[in-house]
Amino acid sequence: MGKYGDLIKQGKTSKPDDQMAGKPDSQTDTKQGDQQTSKPDDQIAGKPDEPMKNLCVKVPESWRRHWAAEAKRTGKTMTDVMVNALTEAFGLPDDQQTR
């Protein structure tokens, strides 16, 4: 291997003791879809044995950024807000209740 190949290999195999794992603060992921909700999914489900499914909604990016910021500011999750809004608008199936 050449000079640069050896340096790259060495960089991949060893890290200085004072180097933290992960990305620096300036490079943290901003992908909102990976956020953890405050409730486990099974607390939202109507039936404990029923699998959870994603509900995807396309909205303008500026709206999503605003809603995500407001949810974080108020300590709510977007999942909780959407489930509450849909439940209020349409109710739940007759055989289910909220937890």
In the chain, where the domains are located: 60-92
pTM for this model (two decimals)? 0.49
Per-residue pLDDT tens digits of the chain, which is 99 residues long? 677 777 777 777 766 555 555 555 555 555 555 444 445 444 565 667 788 888 889 999 999 999 999 999 999 999 999 999 999 999 988 866 655
pLDDT of residue 42: 44
Per-residue confidence (pLDDT) for residue 76, from 0 to 100: 94
Angle at alpha carbon of residue 41, lines to 39 and 46, rounded to 5° = 110
End-to-end CA distance of the chain: 61
DSSP state of 35: P
